[in-house]
Chains A and B, each alone.
Chain A
Amino acid sequence: MAKPTNSAAARKKSSRSALLVVGFLVALFAMPTAILVLGGLIPTYAALLLDKEKGKLTTITVGALNIAALTPLLLELWSNHTRSHAIEMLSSPFAWILMLAGAGIGWILAQVVPSVIVMVISARNKRRLETIRERQKRLVEEWGNSVTENIR
């Protein structure tokens, strides 16, 4: 059992190293983009810190919409790809409203949608159980109590 755990940890470690290498290369060759991305994904970092669930699904939802909100800003940056423009954009309240709105929508989705799904599925299961009990009752009425015997 120890072997798979070790290999998973090794895989995680190597992918994290690859990410660092990619980040280093982006920072080296596209510093303005790196500055905007690092700054713009702050809500996602916050979600990552707060998300204690396995799989970090809330973080993924928040991150996806955070990135979606960052996309127009990146497109604008790439028209004047300089450090000053990147810093200027990070100082803009509009940019922050956009980025926080994206992340906020992601957060709301992550909180509301699963609960709705749980509610729907639970209600469906309850109805199914009632149907089963009704059918079983009819079987007993038709065949007698012995139909319930020898159940393992």
Chain B
Amino acid sequence: MATKDATAPTAAAPAPAGDRITICNGRYEIFPSTAVPQLNQPGAKAYAVQGIRGGGSLIGLVPDLHEFPRHDASPSALNVNSPYVFRYVDTDVVYWPEFGRHRPVVVIEKPAGHVCMSSVTEERPPLPGELNFKQAVESMHDGLRDIYLAGLSHGRINPTNLFMRESGNYALCIGECLSTAPGKYQHYGFETIERMMAKPVARGPAASPEDIYATGVSLLLLLLGRLPALSMPLEELLHAKIEKGSMMALLTGMKLPSAYSEFFRGVLADDPELRWGLDDISHWLGGRRMGSKPAGQLRKAQRTLEFNGQFFLHPRLLANAMSKMPDNAARIIEDSSLDRWLRRSIGDEEMADALQEAISTAAGVTRGGTATERLVSRSCVALDSAAPIRFRDVAAMPTGLGPLLANLISSGQQPRTVADIISSQIISFWSNRPTNFNGENTAVAQIFEGVRMLLERNLPGYGVERVLYELNLHMPCLSPMISEIYPLHLKAVAQGIERYASTVGPEETTLEPMDRHIAAFVLSRQKRMNDRLFPLLDPKSDKGQRAVAILSILAEVQKKFHNEPMPHTSEWLGRLLAPSLERYNNKVLRDKLTKELKRVSRKGDLEALLALVDDSNVQRQDKDGFDRARSEWSQWEKVARDLSSNTAAREAAILNQGRQITAFIGIFAAAAIVLVSVFTKFF
């Protein structure tokens, strides 16, 4: 059973290559020098794993750099308990000698049997007999049912990821789907028309109709032994699927026995509404004739529309072409020729109205790319609302924008286009199309509306980094300081910072244990964090204030997620905090705090450090004392100025006062003399 901490880096010190590495809280050992290449997955290599107490044969899948396993799907994968589905065991993060850094490891049971095909374009013996075919279908049906019951979706069902247990037994076992982003390594022939149009990394998680479609293509390939259509270039196969329907396109050059046509028409239906579900497959297996639903015909125009030297009859193909030539596309939108074509040649008033809505709403948005890009992108959604969102050179399903962003940022590319898609609010427009309007898509649109707000605040803790972590809950923190240890949660972030702090010398005064990635990661994984601290992390803000903000954030992380001393980090912060003591006015207090800071920072308790430098009582006392001192200084200054100014006038006044006193003395003395004289005379 995987625990939350199981994904914390377990190998603190790098193990030498070839050694076994203990993983998953000591339950298993992985052997970096014992590769199992026949079980390699696209984007992940397989290595031998064994249980500490023996047990079943296991493998560990170690994804390549820039691959991010679906850790968020691990709890669901644990619930899958089916002989027809790969068995997930655990996940961990370990130091991997080959990469010289920590990498995630997905431990699964070694699949029984052999993989059906090593390449989908190769040829294999056709599946013999209807009963064997039904056995394969049944195993796939049961496997998919168990996957969905566990709350998982697959996204990479094809014969290179399907296993047959033994010869003569055609029950299939579905391979793993956790080591890489869903759809990224799926062959385009196994994707629906809509997902085919998206960039592989931007296809997003597959829903059950898409897994069933992939199952249909896989079974068709296994049944016939080969599908020449899968060797066609993507664009060619896409056009064929759009124009002839998936089943006919995939059967190019092949003949399907009539006994199977009902099944494949059902599972390969291009309209998701008409495509069979698991219940339909179950009924078919039970021998019920489903009565083939008519294949959904794409609406065709009576007259072609010329665009960029080509003639189009289908809005879907036109939208695909328009997205590649936005300037030309803007011309046919703005001169109303597209609108006329939709109303007169296709007769689709709804689509034409959607186009008008796209034009008017695009004009109301000012952010996210150029006006032309926004207009063409929305118009493409109006023409083909089930297709991916197409913007500049990107075609992405809305749920694929997160994985796409992760891919761009982790490989050092500019995430500008994804940011522009979010800013242009096209996802709201997409989710409001009648064909897309459902609870799930509305929730997706709400998520993107939320991240749009985050994107527009270009402060630490926000911006594109925050969007990355909000949209990808399985992402590790990509901060260059700590990404080496693949930190998936805040405990690992604290460990990573402490590890990095141990390499920072005492003379270093410019580096800080916080960057935009760490700030965004912390705020996305700990929503209750005081978000008023994050604007203070801005590089333009006061150095001392920034250091206190960093300390406040890391102290909370330490307190709640990593209750262990962080001496290197606190000493580093201690040095950075020196300017923050300048805010105290009292020199004696400052000197005392400086001494205390050095003492407390050696302990590694960030909260104690924070209590020292950010004690509101001490701050208030210092401020009150300062105000009193300033007032006293001011009063003394007034008295001093008074005393030292206008000396002559002052002396004249004193002299006058002296004369008055003298006159008084004179009068008093005279009165005394008079009295004495009278007294002497008469008594």
A-to-B contact residues, CB < 8 Å: 53, 55, 57-58, 60-62, 64-65, 67-69, 71-72, 75, 106, 109-110, 113-118, 121-122, 125, 128-129, 132-133, 135-136, 139-144, 146-152
Q: Which of A67, A116, A132 contacts B670 (CB 8 A)?
A: A67
Please name the residue on chain B nearest to A79 by beta carbon.
B681
How far apart are B54's CB and chain A's nearest CB, in angstroms?
Answer: 72
User: Considering the chains assembled together, what is the distance between the CA atoms of A146 and B674 in angstroms?
Assistant: 64
B677 lies within 8 A of A57 (CB)? no
A110 touches B666 (CB 8 A): yes
Q: A149: which B residues are within 8 A, CB to CB? A: 630
Contact at B634–A60, with CB atoms within 8 Å?
Answer: no
Chain A residue at minimum C-beta to C-beta distance from B626 = A143
Smallest distance from the beta carbon of B637 to chain A beta carbons, Å?
6
**A53-B659 in contact given A132-B639, A144-B585 (Cβ < 8 Å):** yes
* Given known A65-B670, A133-B640, A147-B633, contact A72–B659 (CB-CB < 8 A): no
Instruction: State whether A129 touches B626 (Cβ < 8 A).
Output: no
> Bound state CA distance, A71 and B672, in angstroms?
11
Which of B204-212, B217-225, B445-453, B649-657 interfaces with chain A? B649-657
Contact B585 A146 (CB under 8 A): yes
A64 to B634, CA, bound (A): 47
Residues of B within 8 A of A135 (CB): 632, 636
Cβ of B503 < 8 Å from any Cβ of A?
Answer: no
Residues of chain B lying within 8 A (CB to CB) of residue A128: 639, 643
Known: A116-B658, A136-B637. A60 touches B667 (CB 8 A): yes
Residues of B within 8 A of A68 (CB): 669-674, 677
Question: In whole angstroms, how far apart are the Cα atoms of A128 and B640 in the complex?
Answer: 8
Residues of chain A within 8 A of B672, CB atoms compared: 68
A150 to B637, CA, bound (A): 12
5 shortest interchain CB distances as A-B pairs: A114-B658, A61-B666, A117-B658, A68-B670, A68-B673
Bound-state CA distance A122–B643 (Å) is 10
Q: Which of B583-634 contact A (CB under 8 A)?
A: 585-588, 625-626, 629-630, 632-634
Q: Contact check, B663 vs A61: say whether CB atoms are below 8 A apart.
A: yes
User: At the interface, yes or no: B52 with Cβ under 8 Å from chain A?
Assistant: no
Q: Is the interface of A mostly helix, strand, loop or mixed?
A: helix
Known contacts A53-B659, A75-B681; is-contact A117 B654 (Cβ 8 Å) = yes
Asked, given contacts A71-B673, A71-B678, A142-B629, whether A109 binds B666 with beta carbons under 8 Å apart, the answer is yes
Inter-chain contact B587/A142, CB cutoff 8 Å: yes
Residues of chain B touching chain A, judged by Cβ–Cβ distance below 8 Å, are 585-588, 625-626, 629-630, 632-634, 636-637, 639-640, 643-644, 650-651, 654-663, 665-667, 669-674, 677-678, 681
Q: Name B665's contact: one of A55, A113, A132 (CB within 8 Å).
A: A113
In Å, the complex CA distance between A150 and B629 comes to 13
Query: Measured between alpha carbons, how far is A133 from B100 in the docked complex, in Å?
Result: 67
CB-CB under 8 A for A64 and B663, given A75-B677, A117-B657, A144-B587: yes
B542 to chain A, nearest CB (A): 16
Of A64, A71, A129, most buried by chain B (CB within 10 Å of CB) is: A64
Instruction: Decide: A136 near B667, CB < 8 A? Known: A57-B662, A143-B629.
Output: no
CA distance A64 to B664 in the complex (A): 9
Which one of B651, B662, B666 contacts A122 once the chains associate, using CB atoms below 8 Å?
A: B651
Q: Are A147 and B629 in contact (CB under 8 A)?
A: yes
Pair A64/B666 contact, Cβ less than 8 Å:
yes
Chain A residue nearest to B658 in the complex (CB): A114
Further 12 A-B residue pairs, CB within 8 A, beyond A136-B637, A146-B626:
A53-B659, A55-B656, A58-B663, A67-B670, A67-B674, A71-B678, A106-B666, A117-B655, A118-B654, A122-B654, A144-B585, A151-B634
Residues in A with CB closer than 8 Å to B651 are 118, 122
CB < 8 Å neighbour of B660 from A57, A62, A140: A57
B630–A113 CB distance below 8 A: no
**A133 and chain B: residue at smallest CB distance:** B640
B661: which of A69, A113, A140 is its contact (CB, 8 Å)? A113
14 contacts between A and B (CB under 8 A): A57-B659, A64-B671, A68-B671, A75-B678, A109-B665, A110-B662, A113-B662, A116-B658, A117-B657, A118-B655, A128-B643, A132-B643, A136-B633, A151-B637
Query: Is the CB–CB distance between A58 and B659 below 8 Å?
Result: yes
Q: Could you tell me the distance in whole angstroms from the C-beta of A134 to the nearest C-beta in chain B? A: 10
Q: Which residues from B are CB-within-8-Å of A55?
A: 656, 659-660
- Decide: B643 and A125 in contact? CB cutoff 8 A: yes
CB <8 Å contact, B662 and A71? no
* Cβ contacts under 8 Å, A109 to chain B: 662, 665-666
User: Closest residue of chain A to B674, judged by CB?
Assistant: A71
| In the complex, residue of chain B having the shortest beta-carbon distance to the beta carbon of A75 | B681
- Report whether B630 and A147 are in contact in the complex, using a CB–CB cutoff of 8 Å: yes
Across the interface, name the chain B residue whose C-beta is closest to A112.
Answer: B662
- CB-defined contacts of A113 to chain B, threshold 8 Å: 658, 661-662, 665
Distance from A105 Cβ to chain B, minimum over Cβ atoms (Å)? 8
CA distance A115 to B658 in the complex (A): 7
- Docked Cα-Cα span, A146 to B661, in Å, equals 45
User: A73's closest neighbor in chain B, by CB?
Assistant: B677
- CB neighbours of B643 from chain A (8 A): 125, 128-129, 132
- A139 with B662: in contact, given A71-B678, A118-B651, A129-B643 (CB under 8 Å)? no
Complex Cα gap A117–B678 (Å):
33
- Which of chain A's residues have a CB closer than 8 A to the CB of B674? 67-68, 71
A142–B630 CA distance with the chains assembled, in angstroms: 11
Chain A neighbourhood of B585, CB < 8 A: 143-144, 146-147
Instruction: Give every chain A residue within 8 A of B630 (Cβ-Cβ).
Output: 143, 146-150
Q: How far is the CA of A142 from the CA of B614 in the complex (A)?
A: 21
Contact among A58, A71, A139 with B633 in the assembled complex (CB-CB below 8 Å):
A139
B666 touching A65, Cβ below 8 Å = yes
Closest to A151 in B: B634
- Give Cα A114 to B663, complex, Å: 10
Instruction: Give the residues in chain B near A115, CB-CB below 8 Å.
Output: 655, 658
B636 smallest CB distance to A (angstroms): 5
Point out the residues of chain B lying under 8 angstroms from A110, CB to CB: 659, 662-663, 666
A64 to B588, CA, bound (A): 63
Given contacts A64-B670, A72-B677, A129-B643, contact A148 B633 (CB under 8 A): yes
Q: Distance in Å from the Cβ of B267 to the closest Cβ of chain A?
A: 78
Query: How near does chain A come to B474, taking the closest CB pair, in angstroms?
Result: 51
The smallest beta-carbon distance between B623 and chain A, in angstroms, is 11
Assess whether B629 is in contact with A139, with CB atoms less than 8 Å apart. Answer: yes
